[in-house]
A = this chain, B = another copy of it.
Amino acid sequence: MTAPSNPTACLLIIGNEVLSGRTRDANLQYIARRLGEIGIPLREARVIPDDRAVIVATVNEVRAKFDHVFTTGGIGPTHDDITSECIAEAFGVPWEPHPEAWARLDNYYRSRGSPGDFNPARQRMATMPRGATLIDNVISLAPGFTMGNVHVLAGVPRICQAMFEALAPRLRGGPPIVSRTVHAHGMMEGRIAEGLADIQRRWPEVDIGSYPYYRPAGGGGVAVVAKGTDPDMVRAAAQDVAAFMRAAGGHPVEGEPA
């Protein structure tokens, strides 16, 4: 279990293309790991469509429920990019040109000698909820933004990651979540299940997860992950798991299965 003092996070992945299976999301895992390191555990993620009513209602639900909300997707220049205006609607504020974002894009196209390329579609990327704080975009310039406890990031993975890293220094987390993994190749989860339950009871502040794996060549086994904010407890629980696996005839190894 993560300490109750840790702030919590929810991720909203906004995009029909993920729900249709066209695109495989690549942001959840990155953001989840980084939030763990920062000590703001991700408690929920939702994939929702590019639908105004759904976005507004979901943003309002989760921003009340979690300390931080991250959104990915829907902040480009096209008609299906509606995240930004939906955030304004959710917060009940005007959606209007953001002077600093506007200046960045305007200057960019002027410096290229094509001021006309800062057209109405691209101007939408500099239009934001009133009161938004910019999140820098070192990849493709058009910024994300923070509005209240909602952090609005791009959907394209390398832009999303760059925005997250620009934002990260502003996020204040609790103790980082540390984990240790012990795996035993050739061991069946069903054989160690009862022993693991005992170890979980012994270490209530450590979160013990059991994950069977299969390899196309070479059979499978089980990986057990101990996770928490107290490194000593996590290490002790992982040692108990390894000792129990050995007693059950397995050959536990620290780390993820290769």
A→B interface (CB under 8 Å) = 16-25, 28-34, 36, 41-50, 54, 76-81, 117, 119-122, 124-125, 156, 158, 177, 179, 189-194, 196-197, 200, 207-214, 225, 227
Contact = CB atoms under 8 A, between A and B. Distances in A.
A49 B42 CA distance: 9
Most B-side CB within 10 Å, residue of A119, A120, A193: A193
14 contacts: A19-B42, A20-B41, A20-B42, A22-B225, A24-B29, A25-B28, A45-B46, A46-B46, A78-B192, A78-B193, A79-B196, A80-B209, A80-B210, A124-B193
A29 B21 contact: yes
Contacts of A77: 189-190, 193
Q: State the oligomeric state as a number of copies.
A: 2
Given A179-B20, A193-B77, A44 B43 contact: no
B121 A194 contact: yes
Most B-side CB within 10 Å, residue of A20, A33, A42, A48: A20
A58 B141 CA distance: 38
Contact of A23 (B47, B158, B194, B211): B211
Contacts of A23: 211
Contacts of A190: 76-77, 117, 119, 121-122, 125
